[in-house]
Amino acid sequence: MAEAFQFELVSPERLLLSAKVTDVIVPGSEGEFGVGAGHSPFLSTMRPGVVKALSEDGSKHEYFVRGGFADVSASGMTVLAEQAIPMADLDAGYIAQQIQDASEDVADAKDEDARQAARLVLSQLQELQAAVKAS
């Protein structure tokens, strides 16, 4: 069995998960990546997506995160999410709502840069919606 390491998922409101895990998959802004024990120090921003963590006892934790960043250091891994919701509490309606908000952002964007950024978020959310539907 793979070696375990300390993993923490925090949102501004609270600490959601603090556990010994063997594997974590994070939706990095430049592609999904997996982290195992002994990973080299690494810092990445995240796009909206699902963080999956496999804990030592074999149970699986899945959280939907909306942006934030992941910090891997020698002492463990920390995911700082701007918003995090356990997958069990997540339903299609919530994502639909997020998508609607994002499309409004696109419409309201003042300049080209902001519109570009809002569009990116929107497309990521749509991708996620497709993924949730498929599962």
Partner 1 sequence: MASLKDLKNRIASVKATQKITKAMKMVAAAKLRRAQDAAEAGRPYAERMGTVLGNLAAGFEGRDDAPKLMTGTGRDQTHLLLVCTAERGLCGGFNSSIARLAREHADKLLSEGKTVKIVTVGKKGHDALKRGYGQYIVENIELRGLKSVEFSDTKHIGDLVMEMFQDEKYDVCTLFYAQFQSVISQVPTAKQLIPAQFEAKDEAQDGSSEDALYEYEPGEQEILETLLPRNVAIQIYSAILENGASEQGARMAAMDSATRNAGEMIDKLTTTYNRQRQAQITTELIEIIAGAEAL
With respect to partner 1, which residue has the nearer C-beta, 60 or 116?
A: 116
Please pick, from the candidates 32, 71, 105, 127, the single residue that binds partner 1 as defined by CB under 8 A.
Answer: 71
Tokens 């300390």 label which residue? 6
Please pick, from the candidates 3, 34, 59, 73, the single residue that binds partner 1 as defined by CB under 8 A.
Answer: 73
Straight-line distance from the first to the last Cα atom of the chain, in angstroms, rounded to the nearest whole number: 27
Q: Interface mask (CB under 8 A) for partner 1, residues 8-47, using x and -?
A: x-xxxxxx------------xxx---------xxxxxx--
What secondary structure does DSSP assign to 60-89, as a single string? EEEEEE-SEEEEEETTEEEEEESSEEEGGG
**With contacts defined by CB under 8 A, how many residues of the chain interact with partner 1?**
24
If 0-12 CB within 10 Å is exposed, 13-18 middle and 19+ buried, where does residue 59 land?
A: exposed
Shortest Cβ 133–partner 1 spacing (Å): 25
- Contact between 109 and partner 1 per CB under 8 A: no
Angle, CA 86 vertex, CA 84 and CA 92 arms, to 5°: 95
Please pick, from the candidates 4, 80, 87, 106, the single residue that binds partner 1 as defined by CB under 8 A.
Answer: 80
**Number of neighbours of residue 62 by Cβ within 10 angstroms:** 14
For partner 1, the binding residues (CB under 8 A) are 8, 10-15, 28-30, 40-45, 69, 71, 73-74, 78, 80, 82-83
